[in-house]
């Protein structure tokens, strides 16, 4: 799977506001943005995002996934403070 396919899969299956995926073909970094994360524990957030990817990991088309989650307000602040100067 490529980065765009993973992003689309996550947005469509999890109803995310945004999903940003970077990676090299087997190792991927995922940023998932949704207000669904508001009351979830850190573990539940990881499990939620990991679930639609589990089959791809099991079959070997994805090897490793790093996941960061944000609510929409958190993501807005994150982008504001991490823009290039």
This prediction has a pTM of: 0.89
Between residues 72 and 62, the one the model is more confident about: 72
Torsion of CA 79, 16, 53, 82, to 10 degrees: 0
Query: For the segment 9-20, what is each residue's pLDDT rounded down to a tens digit?
Result: 999 999 999 999
- Return d(Cα 59, Cα 77) in angstroms, integer: 36
Can you give the pLDDT at residue 83?
56
The structural domains of the chain, ordered by start, are 3-78 (3.30.300.90)
- Return d(Cα 52, Cα 75) in angstroms, integer: 22
Closest Cα partner for 68 from 59, 78, 82, 54? 78
CB atoms within 10 A of CB 44: 12
Confidence of residue 85 (pLDDT cuts 50, 70, 90): very low
């Amino acid at each position: 799977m490529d980065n765009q396919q993973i992003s689309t899969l996550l947005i469509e299956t999890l109803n995310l506001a945004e999903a940003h995926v970077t990676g090299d073909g087997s190792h991927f970094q995922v940023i998932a943005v949704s207000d669904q994360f508001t009351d979830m524990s850190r573990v539940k957030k990881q499990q939620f995002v990991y679930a639609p990817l589990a089959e791809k990991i099991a079959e070997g088309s994805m090897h490793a996934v790093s996941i960061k989650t944000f609510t929409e307000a958190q993501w807005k602040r994150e982008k504001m403070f991490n823009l290039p100067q």
